[in-house]
Structure 1
Amino acid sequence: MKFMFIVQGEGRGHFTQAITLEEMLLKNGHEVVEVLVGKSSSRSLPGFFNRTIKAPVKRFISPNFLPTAQNKRVSLGRSVAYNLLQLPAYINSMFYIKQRIQESGADVVINFYELLTGLTYAFLRPRIPYVCIGHQYLFLHKDFEFPKKNPLSLFMLRFFTRLTSLGASKKLALSFNPMEDDNNITVIPPLLRREVLSIQAEQGDYIHGYMVNAGYADQVISYNKEHPDQAMHFFWDKPDMPEEMKVGDNLFFHALNDVDFLKYMSRCKAYASTAGFESICEAMYIGKPVMMVPVHIEQDCNAYDAARAGAGIVDDSFNLDNLIEFSKEYVPNRSFTYWVNSCERALIDELEGNIDQHTIFAIPALSNYF
């Protein structure tokens, strides 16, 4: 079979999932003919993705969530205003996506949580079936347990997730734990790369971290000034920075590089993150305690779900003393390791199964979203 990927371009999780799935498909005799990646003015395409992905990569302008002025949590007001102004560009992107789907020769499209994929299928009706993959589709599962957060925010998260999957034949929901399937939502293990599965973990003396928004750097720098003897290596998604930058005593900031990221993960004593699903799973698999600092409602849900699965603790700032204390009593969740190891067979079976060739071309009634 021939597959085409459409990847949301924010964060690193969707990129590593796409890389992993391409490797699995190639190993099982299939082909990835093209990869489309959403782009915006505030995000750059990670170098590791270009170096690793085998299929040709093309870009299109896609909606983006903007942070607050402090560059920490997402600002809903700024994001809505910005994306409304960009609406003509997004419409052009939808026509471009349909054109690439038709010309690629793909049998199936795989959508990694890109909003414009769902809207393209709803309004422009490509004839090729598509499948959605992501942890976010677990939010649509009847048995998923949400944190006690603003009900409107949770509603908007579920609404957005439905929009990304309009007309999808299947939704493959990545989960920390096994769950029963729910209608066309199939629960599968996290999609971790071969390098993670084969890594040899060591017990180091430094704290490893990742920040999707660079505004949290001030908190890390402040902690470093108070604890200059604690070594720290943090990665961030900040454009135009050197590969490695020493900021203070024993504190280094690194440009996003997946080889280095995993190297530092394997040797750290604990991991601090802005609660992206993928890196939490990597830390759990390797057996590292995690502190999660969510930056938006999706990550609030990730962090709550991960804490219930034994990954670590949730905080509203990078107070690393809490992480160090937690790490002293941390016990890895070994059942998670077995769950992850079953991913490839489960995922390939789903994609090689009978995908519905009749995509849904009508927009579902708004009453379905309430």
Structure 2
Amino acid sequence: MKFLFIVQGEGRGHFTQAITLEEMLLKNGHEVVEVLVGKSTSRSLPGFFNRSVKAPVKRFLSPNFLPSAQNKRADIGRSVVYNLLQTPAYIKSMIYIKQRIEESGADVVINFYELLTGLTYTFLRPRIPYVCIGHQYLFLHRDFEFPPEQNFSLFLLRLFTRLTSIGSSKRLALSFYRLSDDKRENVTVVPPLLRSEVFSLQPQKGSYIHGYMVNSGYADYITEFNSNHPELQLHFFWDKPDAPDEMKVTDTLSFHTLNDVDFLKYMSGCKAYASTAGFESICEAMYIGKPVMMVPVHIEQDCNAYDAVRAGAGITSDSFDLDELIEFSKNYTPDRSFVYWVNSCERVLLEELEEKKDKHTIFAIPALSNYF
């Protein structure tokens, strides 16, 4: 089968998931003909993605969250106004997406939570069926538990998630744990998509804290903590345009640009991991038995963090107060059942993506009424 990927360009997780799935499909005799990636003025395409993905990569302008003035949590109001003003450009992107889908020769499109994919299928109706993959589709599952007292934000999150998947053949929800499928919402629960490099890591309990922050404004917290605890080594990765590969602030604090080889190296040898609650890196830390502290930057990551705490990954915080993480790590015990769940990913995903091939039929596109 021939696949075309469409990848949301926000954060790190969608990129590593796309790399992993491409590797998995190629290994099993399939082909990825093209990868379309949403871009924005506030994010750059990580170098590791271009180096790792095998298929040709093309880009299109896509909606995204804008950070607050302090470059910390996402500014929802600002993001909505900005993206509405960009509507003409996004319509051009949707036309481009449909063109690439129909000219690529793909049998199936895989959507990694890109909003314009759902809107393209809503208004322009490409003939090629598509499947959605992402942790966010678990938010539509009847048994998913949400953090309390954020009803309007959760409504918007679930609406956004539905919009990314209008008309899809199925929603594959990456999850920290097993859940039965939700047929009413067309949600199939599958294990996390972790890169093959994670499985070959030989983790050691080091003496430093490893971290990742999607918004560089949180660097102030890290710098302040370092000034109060100069004895503790800190290695943090950030998504800051034009930053050097490594910015050494003090003898014990370094900021690194996204490089997945280095990222996993530091993950493997750290004492504990601090993150802005992206699903993918939490899973990597859980797999190799590292305690995690999560500092969410928007409602989606609030849900990730709440769910990860329930799954035993670690703790949440409003800021990068690493004292809390150090204290938690003293009594942390990894849940090894998570490892077995992750190890079943290739088998489970291939069964889902290949099931129609054996029947010599193509995916049927459900009626739009099934998605609202």
Query: TM-score with structure 2 length normalisation?
Result: 0.97
Q: What pairs up with 1:1-370 in 2 under 5 angstroms?
A: 1-183=1-183, 184-354=186-356, 357-360=363-366, 362=368, 364=369, 369=372
Structure 2 gap ranges (5+): none
Does the 8 Å contact 1:123/1:361 carry over to 2?
Answer: no
**One-letter amino acid of the structure 1 residue matched with residue 116 of structure 2:** L
RMSD, aligned α-carbons: 1.1
Deviation at 1:361, TM superposition (A): 6.3
SS for the counterpart of 1:177 is coil
Q: CA deviation at 1:256?
A: 0.5
Distance 1:280 1:347, change over 3 A: same
Displacement of 1:318: 0.2
- CA deviations 1:230-267 (Å, max 9, x no partner) are 00000000011111111123000001100000000000
1:87-106 CA distance string (max 9 Å, x none): 00000000000000000000
Q: Determine if contact 1:271/1:288 at 8 Å carries over to the other structure.
A: yes
> Aligned partners of 1:204 and 1:83: how far apart in 2?
43
| C-alpha contact 1:169 1:356 (8 A) present in aligned 2 | no
CA contact 1:125–1:361 (8 Å) conserved in 2? no
Paired positions, count: 366
Aligned residues of 1:173 and 1:185 also touching (Cα < 8 A): yes
* 8 Å contact from structure 1 (residues 66, 74) kept in 2: yes
In 1, the alpha carbon distance for the partners of 2:367 and 2:126 equals 9
Question: 1:149 offset after TM fit, Å?
Answer: 3.4
Deviations 1:25-66 (A, max 9, x none): 000000000000000000000000000000000000000100
Q: Does the residue aligned with 1:186 lie in a helix, a strand or coil?
A: strand
**TM-score using structure 1 length:** 0.97
Q: Secondary structure at the match of 2:254?
A: strand
For residues 193-212 of structure 1, give each alpha carbon's deviation from its aligned partner in whole angstroms, at most 9, with x where no partner exists.
10001111011100000000
Whole-Å Cα distance in 1 between the matches of residues 21 and 238 of structure 2? 24
Q: How far apart are the structure 1 equivalents of 2:116 and 2:268?
A: 36
Q: What secondary structure, in the 3-state scheme, does the structure 1 residue paired with 2:350 have?
A: helix
Q: CA deviation at 1:275?
A: 0.1
What is the rounded CA distance, in whole Å, between the counterparts of 2:307 and 2:362 in structure 1? 31
Which runs of no fewer than 5 residues in structure 1 stay unpaired? none
